[in-house]
Every structure is written in structure tokens, then in C-alpha cells.
Structure 1
Amino acid sequence: MTERANTRTSRPLYGCMGLGGTWGPEPYGAAEIAAAEAAVTAALEIGITAFDHADIYRHGKSEAVFGELLARDHGLRARITLQTKCGIRPADGTHPGMYDLRGKSVLRRVEESLLRLRTDVIDVLLLHRPDPLADPDDIAEALHSLHAQGLVRRFGVSNMGAAQIAALQSRLGLPLVANQLEMSLHQRDWVEAGVLLNTPEGAANGFPHGTLEHCADQGIQVQAWGALAQGRFTGRPTSPQDRAAAELVADLAERKQVAPETVLLWWLQRHPARIAPVIGTSDPGRIRACRDAVGRAPELEHEEWYALWLAARGKPLP
């Protein structure tokens, strides 16, 4: 049996996808570096020490501008946990957009991320999405090699279900420590799957049953990307139920003397899976609005948690 890391924490991470400028080929410059510095400084100020990347974010520019910050502040790297992902290859004119978890590809992508980040080790590497053609033994060999070389300390996955995680873990002598999934008050398949079982509505829910339970049982941290729901409940509602939920979020925030963003993160953190939200906004003000989700335990009563769920849902539970 592999030894499990103690990763059961709901402390938020900062998601760096918004750093680095555009998604196009334009190079980053001083303005993009300054914007990244402002966002990272805000995250550090509220107590966030884990930073989440992926090799494809802004076509590598997110990692690159972060590497600029690490080069400027030589003490920063020792104070943070650096996480990145690989496995998605966007279309580039010579091949279609695809997932690629072949061992040789994983090794190459990690080398490239290390160069962009200007570091000699990645604390956590996540496999970004399942690759239907990948050989689990080939993946395991690559991950063992990265670990043996001291290039990656720990490994996890992203957007994977319990069966996929278990299949990979059975070939891997190192524990998988994280699974990152889209989870928010708007993206609720993960919580609704458990209550829609044996209902007509449940047939349309594609979230793999048992995934949260498997992660909890195996000590795998569940990380929630998209945790702030792109502002749907804090200023940019797009439907009547969004507006109803936003009003409730604002009311709870006022009563508990926190920012609305904190209420949204508390809704995730209150779940017994101890979900760790990934804060993806690049706005320093919105990052600071999450302060109490870092420094305080979730202060949502059972009834308040359900009220938020039902408001966002827009209809009663079955």
C-alpha cells in the first residue's frame, strides 16, 4: 500500500490562468508582468501560498510571467507550492487539438514548464484531462522518472472520475494527491449526482458516481476550478435563478460581514469532501475579497447551504 499524503485541506489555491496577457501569439511585456505581480501579491497578502498553472494557459505565457516574478524575488519560490498541469495539446496547424498523456510527451511538457517557470522542481504535477489512447503503464513510467530525477515532488489528476483515478493508481507506486474538477454554485453536477440517482433528471447528469467518495477515502484533495462561477453571483447574473442566488449571496455576506466571493467559496468548503477552491480571477480586488475563505472556517449553517443550492438550482430537490 502506498503512503498517503495529508492533503485533506480546503485552503484555497490561486489559479494563474488569467496571467500573461492574451490567448494569442502576442508576446507578454512589462504591463503583463506588472498585472501578474499585482494578482500574486494580492493572493499572498490574504494567505494563499499554492499557485496553480497549466502549460497551455495563455499558450505558456502564464507560466512565463510567473517565472519572471520568481526570478525577481529569489525568496518567493521557497514560500509557495507550485502546481502545474500537462496533457492538453491545442491545434497548431500540424495536428488537431487533442489530449496527449504519452510518457514521452509528459516528460517534454514538464521540461518546458520548468524552463518557463524558472524553477528546478514542480511541487505538484496534474494530468490535465484523460487521454483515451494513453497507456497507464507508460504514464506511470514517466511519472516515476520525473520523481526519481527530482523534477516533480507529487502527482495528481484533473477532470477524472474515480475509476480512471483508480486505474492509474494501480500502476503507480506514488500516491495521487489531487483531483481538480469544475465545481461551483453554478456548476453543481458533482453535488446533484448524489441526490438525482434513480430520477429521470439524473439520467442527464454525467458526473461519475463515487468520485468524491473515492477521493476522500484515498486522501486525494479535491480542487475546484471555476469556483467563483465567472461572477454570475457577484455582479454578472445571466438568468433569473442567478439573480435570486446573487441576492441571497449578498444577504448572507452582509449578515456575516464578509465579501460575496467568500460566501461562494464557503459553499464549496462547507462540503465534507473539504473542497479546495481555485481562485481564478486576475482582479486584485476580487482576490482580496476571498480573504475570509482563507483565514476562517466556513460559517454557513446547514439551512443556509441548502438555501444557496436551491436558489441557484431554481427548483426544488426531488
Structure 2
Amino acid sequence: MKTLNVKNGPQNVSTIIQGCMRMPSLSVEEATKLIQTDLELGINFFDNATCYTEGVAEARFGEAFQKSGIKREDVVLQTKVGLEFQRNEFDWTKENILTNVDASLERMKTDYLDVLLLHRPDLIFDPEEVAEAFEELHQSGKVRYFGVSNVPTLQLALLKKYVKQPLVFNQLQLSLDQSQLIDQMLYVNDKTTDMSISRDSEILNYCQLNDITVQAWSPLQYGKFEGSFIDNPKFPELNKVLEELSDKYGVSKAAIAIAWILRHPAHMQAIIGTMNPVHLAETVPAQKVALTHHEWYQLYLASGKFLP
């Protein structure tokens, strides 16, 4: 597995992340097998969140990891805090951050988190309060590295002004269908298309300028949570090109779609949420595929985009 050394962050991390949102659908034994398969395939990075089934995903991971026989130091555990669906609010208060981290540690049966992300912006967050929480967590050894999820440019810049620790990750949506993260620049100042509307305030460029690694979520999805575009009749041209490149490189269509993300010079990670070890094994070869410049654009245009 190709690995990344994240500046100011964890070293030798896999470019593919195992997402754990759907882990509650597995038994403890099935989850244990999945985690073991991840490590066998070279995936050493696991992403969770307190809001995933109200903590059940973290608890299922914790039970399964204990049974896996894998050493804690051989994996990178990441969770996200801030989405309080049961209260119908986003909450980045110091009390909520600290309380949730303690609960996550207990559920995941670990003494520390490698990475803590703040999950979507709290509309009334106090950056000084967040800074206090981060400092306490870092000094206590409960969290080693910090970042955010789905946070736009100026909110990220505001947070960076106050926190002492580097913000090393931003988890953002990106796929061949949902590519606005990277392509809005093509249509700048073009009144003839809605593609010129900035929906992310140049967050990718900001992340690259500030050594923040982007973690792409839903890399095989279209819309927000509509489903996968792989073998989907709504995307005939895209699947035709995916199949051609799949045949050329001897990997699955899903692997080609992930390789498209990993080809970007921002050196991103891709989060895959499959709970099927077979599908997992079919997707991991993405990190071995080096798409050419031309092939990257072939896929981009086949997904329904155009060049101005």
C-alpha cells in the first residue's frame, strides 16, 4: 500500500481510509474480519464519528479491534465530534468536545485518538473555546493530531488563528460526479453557466497552501447520498471509460474511480465505506494505478463535465 507522511501529522498512513459509518451492520465477528482484512491489504487508517448511529459504530469498532489481535500502535484511529443529531444542533463548545472525546475513547476501548476532527461548522463556535479544548486534549495525551470535516476556507483560517496545534486534515466530499472541489476554477467569471458559482471558497487551494491533507468522502457516490455511479445506467459514458481503463490496468471500476482522486497532486486520501472484504480487496489496487494526464481528463469529461 502506498503511504503518506502527513506534514505535522501521522506518518506512513495509507492513502485509502476505512470508513466505519456502516460498521453497526456487521456482527462483532464480521467487523473483526473486516479490520484484519484492512491491515492485510495495507489500510491502517480508520475513520469514525460520534454521530454514526449515536456512537454504535465506535463501539462496534472497539469491540472488534480488541478481538483482532492487532497492536494499537499499528493503526491510526480518527473520529469526529460536533454533530449532535439527537439535539438537532452542531456543537463545538469546549464542554461538548471534551465530553465526546472521553466517550469515544471509552467506546473504542483506547487511551488516545490519533486524530480528532471537528465535524461540520458550529454556526456560533468560539475559536478561543475550541483552542482551549484542543490544548487540554493534546496536553493530556488523549489526542495527537487535529483537523476538521466539511469546513470552508475562512472558518478554517479563523480556527487556525487561535489553536496552537496544526490542523492537518479536512474531510470533504469529492468524486467523479461531485467534483466541484477541484473544478470551479475552470469557469471563473463565466456568466453562461452555474458551474462558475463558487461553492467552496477555494478550500482545496487553501488546504494545499497550508499543508492540510484532504480526505475525500463518498468517492464513488453521485449527488450527496444518492448512491454509487459504478455500473449505474444513469452514467453510461462514465462507466464505458471506467471499463476501458479497468481492462487496461487490470483492476475494478471502483479502483479506477478512486485512482482518479489519488492522481490529483494535492496528495489526498480517499475514504471507502464498504463493509464487504471482497469489495475492499477489489478497491485497494487503486493506489497502484498511475493514470495518465489524458486518462484523468477522459474520466472527468465522461462524468458529464465540459471544458469552457
TM-score, normalised via structure 1 length: 0.88
Deviation of 1:164 after TM superposition, in Å, equals: 1.4
Q: Distance in 1 between matches of 2:107 and 2:160?
A: 29
Q: Distance in 1 between matches of 2:29 and 2:244?
A: 35
Q: Confirm or deny: 8 A CA contact 1:19 1:35 kept in the other structure.
A: no
Q: Confirm or deny: 8 A CA contact 1:103 1:142 kept in the other structure.
A: yes
Kindly provide the CA deviation profile for residues 59-110 of structure 1, in whole angstroms up to 9, marking residues without a partner as x.
211110110022224543221000000000013xxx4x11111111000111
Q: Percent identity?
A: 35
Deviation of 1:55 after TM superposition, in Å, equals: 0.7
Q: How many residues align?
A: 297
Q: Distance in 1 between matches of 2:69 and 2:189?
A: 55
- 1:233 is aligned to 229
- 2:83 is aligned to 88
Please tell me whether residue 311 in structure 1 is matched to residue 306 in structure 2: no
Q: Distance in 1 between matches of 2:134 and 2:106?
A: 18
Residue pairs, 1:74-85, within 5 angstroms: 74-85=69-80
Q: Distance in 1 between matches of 2:157 and 2:179?
A: 23
Amino acid at match of 1:289: E
Q: Confirm or deny: 8 A CA contact 2:46 2:76 kept in the other structure.
A: yes
Deviation of 1:48 after TM superposition, in Å, equals: 0.3
- 2:102 is aligned to 111
Residue pairs, 1:57-76, within 5 angstroms: 57-76=52-71
Runs (4+) off by over 6 Å: 7-10
Higher relative contact order, structure no. (Cα contacts within 8 Å, ≥ 6 residues apart): 1
- 1:156 is aligned to 147
Q: Confirm or deny: 8 A CA contact 2:190 2:196 kept in the other structure.
A: no
Q: Distance in 2 between matches of 1:18 and 1:225?
A: 14
Q: Confirm or deny: 8 A CA contact 1:88 1:99 kept in the other structure.
A: yes
Gaps of 5+ in 1: 22-30
- 2:18 is aligned to 14
Kindly provide the CA deviation profile for residues 198-224 of structure 1, in whole angstroms up to 9, marking residues without a partner as x.
123246744323211121122111100
Amino acid at match of 2:45: A
Superposition RMSD in Å: 2.0
- 1:34 is aligned to 29
Gaps of 5+ in 2: 1-5
Deviation of 1:7 after TM superposition, in Å, equals: 6.3
Amino acid at match of 1:275: M
Amino acid at match of 1:189: Q
Q: Secondary structure at 2:43's aligned position in 1? A: coil
Residue pairs, 1:250-261, within 5 angstroms: 250-261=243-254
Q: Distance in 2 between matches of 1:275 and 1:133?
A: 29
Amino acid at match of 2:229: F
Kindly provide the CA deviation profile for residues 277-314 of structure 1, in whole angstroms up to 9, marking residues without a partner as x.
011111211111122124x2x4211111111111112x
Deviation of 1:15 after TM superposition, in Å, equals: 0.6
Q: Secondary structure at 1:195's aligned position in 2? A: helix
Q: Confirm or deny: 8 A CA contact 2:45 2:75 kept in the other structure.
A: yes
- 2:258 is aligned to 265
Q: Secondary structure at 2:27's aligned position in 1? A: helix
Q: Confirm or deny: 8 A CA contact 1:186 1:312 kept in the other structure.
A: yes
